[in-house]
């Protein structure tokens, strides 16, 4: 024993802690020797470690996938009519309810018609006078006609009478035109709806002076039973789709029509689909966009003029496309990857090529084969990269959680050894 230990009076054999340490060393050595003899690392399944992580997978099965493009758009009515004053005068009465439905020809405003009524009556009187003069001139011509044939009167006098008759006929025509003009102005005093539709706020009130020269706007009528949705699409996307269809990589819908779905600002989709009306072949040089228009039924009135919406446009169809939940794809600047179940149930990263998204799913264009299993859920349970996993079908609610593993049966009884050593 060293002089230092003799000086302090320390003896491992006599001290209790020293005896425990001496007995614990052989036990630890024995445990290490057993672990080395088994040849299994700590935490492995064969050595009493945790079981493989359970992950949810989907099996790749190609199907017909309609390619959709979601584009921003603006709503506009099919027909819009501005109600304007066509005669001068004071508005005496408004005959409609703001925001209501009106019919074509329905009277909306009544302008003071007294001056136009007087003008109309004066024109009618002038017409009657002109017609009387014409009747007198025609009677004189009829009387002089046999006389001039018998040379009883001069031809010059007969010519004067026929000329007066023609002037009377012209006066009658002028008077008839004046009557028609005054009648039109009188009718314009009663402002009617040019089209059927929903009328908005009145822009004038009773007592307001309106002018035909300035074409004073009184109200606006819009037809909202069917609405237009105007939107644009990039030239690149249109050309890519056309090339794919020409190469028979995609095909259009069977009936040849292009369905359009409208998504409102709150994310809800209209129950009734619309249809694509035309594609403007002119490209906007400032934006490189092509203008498109869709006609959408609006019987429930959810679409309003000027409203911002998103349009889902099905322009083509992949005969054998693959849909994959978005949560299964890892997107980085280097590309898109997924984890595929490989040999021995080990996850293997796989680069893929994705297209558009549809209903929280990516359209996979390349990188996956039919029958392969892709991990969708349970990534957080995969603690060791490359370790085997337990794949189970994913149903959309997450992977199944296995039961808690039982405690290892070969665990060393350290307290018992300690008690034996203390004896």
pTM above 0.85, yes or no: no
**Which residues have a Cβ under 8 Å from the Cβ of 356 and sit 6 or more positions away?**
67, 68, 69, 70, 363
pLDDT tens by residue, 187-210: 999 999 999 999 999 999 999 999
Domain match, 71 and 156 both: no
| Tally of domains in the chain | 5
Residue 204 tokens read as 């004038």
pLDDT tens by residue, 72-112: 999 999 999 999 999 999 999 999 999 999 999 999 999 99
Q: How far apart are CA 295 and CA 276, in angstroms?
A: 6
CA dihedral for 13, 18, 23, 28, sign (positive or negative): negative
Q: How far apart are CA 298 and CA 53, in angstroms?
A: 51
Domain match, 230 and 306 both: yes
Looking at residues 324-350, what average pLDDT do you find? 90
Do the domain assignments include residue 250? yes
Query: Which residues span the domain enclosing 291?
Result: 67-77+222-317
Do the domain assignments include residue 264? yes
Residue 303 has pLDDT above 50, yes or no: yes
Do the domain assignments include residue 402? no
> What CATH number should be reported for the domain holding residue 351?
2.40.420.20
pLDDT tens by residue, 167-191: 999 999 999 999 999 999 999 999 9
> What CATH number should be reported for the domain holding residue 211?
2.40.50.100
Q: How far apart are CA 139 and CA 181, in angstroms?
A: 30
Domain match, 92 and 210 both: yes
Domain match, 243 and 313 both: yes
Domain match, 102 and 170 both: no
Do the domain assignments include residue 388? yes
pLDDT at 254: 60
Domain match, 128 and 150 both: yes
Domain match, 200 and 283 both: no
Q: How far apart are CA 83 and CA 221, in angstroms?
A: 7
Residue 21 has pLDDT above 50, yes or no: no
Q: How far apart are CA 315 and CA 276, in angstroms?
A: 10
Domain match, 199 and 243 both: no
Secondary structure E strands in 85-158: 89-94, 101-102, 107-111
Do the domain assignments include residue 6? no
Do the domain assignments include residue 398? no
Domain match, 229 and 261 both: yes
Domain match, 137 and 166 both: yes
Give φ, ψ of 342 to 5 degrees: -100, -160
pLDDT band at residue 249 under the 50/70/90 scheme = low
Domain match, 305 and 237 both: yes
The DSSP bridge pattern shows strands 361-366 and 347-358 to be antiparallel
Q: How far apart are CA 123 and CA 178, in angstroms?
A: 6
Domain match, 149 and 250 both: no
Tell me which residue of 177, 188, 190 sits closest to 212, measured CA to CA.
188
Do the domain assignments include residue 170? yes
Do the domain assignments include residue 269? yes
Percent of the chain having pLDDT more than 70? 78
> What CATH number should be reported for the domain holding residue 145?
1.10.287.470
Run of H or E including 118: helix 114-149
CB atoms within 10 A of CB 3: 7
Q: For the chain, count helices (H), then strands (E).
A: 6, 19
């Amino acid at each position: 024993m060293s002089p230092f230990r003799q000086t302090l009076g320390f003896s491992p054999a006599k001290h209790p802690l020293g005896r425990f340490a001496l007995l614990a060393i052989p036990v630890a050595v024995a445990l290490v020797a057993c672990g080395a003899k088994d040849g299994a690392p700590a935490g492995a399944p064969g050595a009493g470690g945790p079981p493989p992580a359970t992950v949810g997978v989907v099996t790749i099965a190609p199907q017909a996938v309609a390619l959709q493009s979601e584009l921003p758009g603006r709503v506009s009515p099919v027909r819009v009519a501005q109600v304007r004053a066509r005669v001068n005068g004071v508005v005496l009465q408004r005959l409609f309810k703001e925001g209501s439905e009106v019919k074509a020809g329905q009277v909306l405003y009544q302008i003071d018609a007294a001056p136009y009524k007087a003008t109309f009556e004066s024109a009618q009187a002038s017409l009657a006078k002109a017609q009387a003069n014409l009747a007198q001139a025609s009677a004189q011509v009829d009387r002089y006609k046999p006389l001039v044939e018998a040379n009883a009167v001069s031809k010059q006098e007969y010519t004067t009478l026929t000329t007066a008759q023609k002037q009377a006929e012209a006066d009658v025509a002028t008077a008839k035109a004046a009557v028609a003009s005054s009648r039109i102005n009188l009718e314009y005093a009663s402002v009617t709806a040019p089209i059927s539709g929903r009328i908005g706020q009145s822009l004038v009130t009773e007592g307001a002076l309106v002018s035909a020269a300035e074409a004073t706007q009184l109200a606006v009528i819009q037809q909202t039973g069917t609405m237009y949705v105007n939107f644009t699409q990039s030239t690149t996307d249109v050309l890519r789709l056309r090339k794919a269809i020409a190469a028979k990589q995609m095909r259009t819908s069977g009936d040849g029509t292009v369905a359009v779905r409208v998504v409102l600002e709150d994310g809800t989709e209209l129950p009734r689909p619309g249809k694509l009306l035309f594609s403007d072949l002119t490209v906007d040089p400032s934006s490189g966009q092509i203008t498109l228009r869709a006609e959408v039924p609006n019987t429930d009135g959810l679409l309003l003029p000027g409203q911002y919406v998103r349009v889902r446009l099905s322009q083509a169809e992949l005969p054998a496309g693959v849909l994959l939940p978005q949560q299964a794809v890892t997107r980085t600047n280097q590309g898109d990857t997924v984890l595929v179940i490989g040999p021995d149930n080990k996850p293997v990263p796989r680069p893929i090529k994705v297209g558009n998204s549809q209903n929280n799913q990516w359209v996979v264009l390349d990188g996956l084969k039919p029958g392969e299993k892709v991990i969708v859920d349970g990534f957080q349970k995969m603690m060791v990269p490359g370790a085997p996993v337990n794949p189970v079908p994913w149903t959309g609610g997450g992977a199944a959680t296995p039961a808690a593993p039982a405690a290892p049966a070969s665990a060393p009884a350290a307290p018992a050894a300690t008690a034996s050593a203390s004896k």
